[in-house]
Structure 1
Amino acid sequence: MFIQLRKSPRGFTLIELLVVIAIIGILSAVVLASLNTARVKSRDARRVADLKQLQLALQLFYDANNAYPATLSALTTAYIATVPNDPVGTAVPYGYDLASGGQSYALCANLEEGTNAALNSDVDVALTGATACVNTADTGPCSGSTTGRFCYNLRP
């Protein structure tokens, strides 16, 4: 009589599958955390670049008119294609305050990262009568009570 040898079933055990799923979950969490940090840094870099672009357009306007414009939308005629908005939302404009007499202004944006190097080189001096760029300290938002934001200010 012949004895039939039973072959073990092919495949993975439940424990092996759970270990692989756990490893994949841990790796994806690490990747997503790194990706989120990169997104924050890129949005902050965009904010700083947008304010530098606005500052250049404001200076061109001043050179032509001997005064700064009352609103940023006045720049769109000849100095800038469109007025940029905060990258978080298309309806969120950057802060702009004009000094009386039109001879000075304040531009501001709320950065998400408090360790951004741009905060070391911004202007931390308040403009008299400011409404959009009220807080000039790097440790809080430009205006309002938004937590986790750091005010980046530019002046001429």
Structure 2
Amino acid sequence: ETLGFTLIELLIVIAIIGILAVAFLPSILGAPAKGRDTARIADLQKIQKILVNANLEGKSYPDDTDKCIVSGFGGADADYYIQQFGGALPVDPSPETTAPYACTTKGTYGYVKKPGNYNFALSARVELFTNANADCSKVKDGLLSLPIEANSGSWCYAILNQ
């Protein structure tokens, strides 16, 4: 009697491992992108909260000359906003992400004052289509144009604030 596995047993185990890898690998590989998108959405919600609370305290919404949040906001209350963020604005978790709108600075979030009938719009380019709620090119006009084309690559998560 010999101890060990037969060739058939080994092939069955390898086949099972292969099937499991095919089933679970895509979800495991998408986890980092999903995590970055979640961080982007949380950052936008934090920015929105600070802008709204400041406005309730009588501060004006910042200017949007750059159409993006780079090192700060413009306008009379710019220093106040930087202070509310603890001295540094949130940045995109992926420094190479292209910002929405006309903003050419990578790794930043989009900001537009008075888009359409809204007070302001915040947006971030997302990596996964399932996390998008807007076409990046439409947010500056105050539109969360749905449906978004899955193959457009212009996926954003946006917050329009009235």
TM-score if structure 2 supplies the norm length? 0.58
Counting only pairs closer than 5 Å after superposition, residues 56-75 of structure 1 correspond to structure 2 as: 56-64=49-57, 66-70=59-63, 72=69, 73=72, 74=78
> Does residue 32 in structure 1 map to residue 38 in structure 2?
no
Letter in 2 for 1:106: A
User: Matches of 1:10 and 1:65 in 2, distance apart?
Assistant: 81
- Stretches of 4+ moved more than 6 A in 1? none
- Greater radius of gyration (CA): 1
CA deviation after TM superposition for structure 1 residue 69, in Å:
1.9
Q: Deviations over 1:81-125 (max 9, x none)?
A: 23223334475211112349xx93221123445555x849xxxx8
Does the alignment pair 1:153 with 2:146?
Answer: no
Which sections of structure 2, spanning at least 5 residues, go unmatched?
73-77, 97-105
Asked whether the 8 Å contact 1:106–1:155 carries over to 2, the reply is yes
Identity of aligned residues (%): 34
**Cα deviation per residue 1:25-78 (whole Å; 9 max; x = unaligned)?**
221332223334555554443332221110111123434563222364246532
My pick for the range that moved more, 47-56 or 62-71, is 62-71
Distance 2:125 2:139 in 1: 15
**Counterpart residue number, 1:3:** none
Q: Unpaired segments of 5 or more residues in structure 1?
A: 1-7
With normalisation by structure 1, the TM-score equals 0.59
Match of 2:120 among 84, 96, 105: 105
